């Protein structure tokens, strides 16, 4: 695996951490008001901050597997991941076996 692909996986792990903090702050409101979470795209583009609206159950399903990430449509990177599901305004991608998967598993805040 190239250094570029390692960097991409690491970038996505950073955005996952950002969303974990957002989720922590928004969860009480999302539950009480039955509203979706407003998180950011977890793609490998360092400058991306596209907002995503995801229901809490979907967010928790994605977070239950350290290899899954939420990205905006068109932000998937077929060099390190595969699309496994799509939602209203987001896609769920899974890191491929090897370095990308090892990096995201090692940096999973819930792992």
For residue range 18-33, list pLDDT tens digits in order: 999 999 999 888 788 8
- Is the pLDDT score of 3 beyond 90? no
For residue range 33-46, list pLDDT tens digits in order: 888 999 999 998 88
Counting the structural domains of the chain, the total is 1
* Residue 78 belongs to domain spanning: 3-106
Q: Does residue 41 lie in a domain region?
A: yes
Helices and strands (H and E) in the chain: how many: 3, 5
Average pLDDT, integer, range 74-93: 92
**CA 79 – CA 103 distance, rounded (Å):** 15
Q: Does residue 111 lie in a domain region?
A: no
Q: Are the beta carbons of 87 and 54 closer than 8 angstroms?
A: yes
């Amino acid at each position: 695996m190239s250094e570029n692909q390692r960097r991409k996986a690491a970038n996505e792990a950073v955005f996952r951490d950002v969303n974990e903090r957002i989720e922590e702050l928004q969860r009480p409101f999302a539950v009480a008001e039955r509203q979706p979470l407003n998180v950011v795209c977890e793609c490998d583009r360092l400058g991306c901050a596209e907002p995503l609206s995801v229901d809490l159950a979907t967010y928790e399903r994605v977070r239950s597997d350290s290899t899954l990430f939420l990205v905006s449509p068109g932000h998937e990177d077929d060099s390190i991941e595969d699309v496994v599901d799509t939602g209203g305004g987001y896609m769920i991608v899974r890191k491929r076996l090897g370095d990308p998967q090892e990096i995201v598993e090692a940096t999973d805040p819930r792992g």
